[in-house]
Structure 1
Amino acid sequence: MARAKILLVDDELLVREELGGLLVDEGYDVTTGGDAEEGLALFRSAQPDMVITDVRMPRGDGLSLAVAIRELSPATPITVITGHGSEQLVIVALRAGVIDFIKKPVRLEDLSAALLRMEAARELARRERVRLPPTARLLEHGWVFALDNDLEAIPAFVDVVVNTCAADLPQPQLVELNLALREVVLNAVEHGNLGLTFAEKARALEQGTLPQVLADRAVRPPYAHRQVRLTVRRLVDALEVEVADEGGGFDWQALPDPTDPDNLLAAHGHGVLLAQLSVDRLTFNAAGNRVTLRKQLRAPAWPT
């Protein structure tokens, strides 16, 4: 099986060498460029499967590169690298369709998480989709799904939800919705049903014990029999998804505000922040154990 190709663009040679080495170790075929202009030329010639670019560079920034690549290939997943002082550009890039961001200095666990998100987006882009015929219409429909506290099942679970309720959406909207739901459902299991606080998760990540902590809680009362429930409502111009867990809730008001660039470097809330920037509206109930996502369907796949 051919190795996936990644284009890495950064103006710092040391970053290209070190990060490129990590990507090679992860099994990727890596092409590197030193600025946005060279990066775009390499994208056209190398035709990579995924792109990682610094957000601030000479001869065109990473945002302009991401926008140009999205115009050439809307389905190509892009992750941007950011440091202090570049947060506003990252916010704009995420709203423009970038999949994820990585903070400098790059940590292996952050890189691995971004690669998983890009691989998921790449897999979604390769799938064949079924569309309604031009003479058919979907005016309104609803579904209800439930998931036990099975973290490994979340990607497949969300794939089924999206394929059932929204498989006919344009590819960029389909990817955004899928990745947003993965983050919200993961949050509902970890912080909702299993009651893991942000401080506990940070400590477990630092100690390398997070999988064991989650596995232990998943089989102990009162956590063992809790479920996440998804209620989906499909309208002509929007898709609404309510994700409810059976935990005691959490202080959602303490989550980073995605409109504030300073929050990109916050210690927690990365996944929910990405979800907020992938949908048009994301709201929590007062208790923090139910979240509603609304995704406007700007280009319906059926006539109205």
Structure 2
Amino acid sequence: MRLGTITSSIALTCFPGLRRRPSFLSPQFSSFSPSPFPSRGEVSRMDWRIMSQNVSFSSTPAAPVDSSELPAMEVKKQQQHPWLVIGLGNPGKRYQGTRHNVGFELVDAIAEAHGIPVKSVNFKALFGKGFIGNVPVILAKPQTFMNISGESVAPIVSYYKIPLKQVLVIYDDLDLPFAKLRLLPKGGHGGHNGMRSIIDRFKGSRDFPRLRIGIGRPPGKMDPASFVLASFSRQEREELDFALQRGVEAVRILVLDGFERSATFVNSAKSMEQLS
């Protein structure tokens, strides 16, 4: 094996962060920076093949490479499917900061925590690609309005061939106490129209994880439809921000350590009020 090949293999194995630059993203995401990788003429043919084979989000499969020629970590990365993290809400300034948009808010918090821009528009969604740790992740906020969220979510899942067990949907829940989080491996729509739309577009399948964010029940005889489109009080905002930070950590654990550990973290957590 050439010295250049050995050096490149060691560099890729010891410094996986070099891959975090999004050179492998589809051409349609032109807002990202160009790749820091050297040109083909600066590396051997085998080095280039190792660098160019990635857990690519591209729709065109890369040319096959003999896995025996790749470092073990590279083989594992190639076999990974990205996680799809969907936050539900309604588009436009009119709905910003309302109870029905907490799914959007948590996706924004995840994006900020992990440096994933969610600015591209694709699949009828605000869309971003990046990593949590070394795991590829797609973040999306459907712009279809809540009741037809499935029109955005289903095409993303189909295009990237993402297993449903790696599709996390985040949404508001009237039946949970305010700022309470609940992570479940599957389930029905519970009357939530956004989830109803997604399940319908998944041909009735309910076997995908969901992270519910409690928004509480409407006071008195207030119409639930009006309640979910209402804003938060200052105290509620503080409690919600605390819950969103726990949500960011829950998603990190889910992606890196699996569902069971994340569910334990989320479902046994105390609220800010209980901790004070």
With the length of structure 1 as denominator, give the TM-score of the two structures.
0.30
More strand by share: 1
With the length of structure 2 as denominator, give the TM-score of the two structures.
0.32
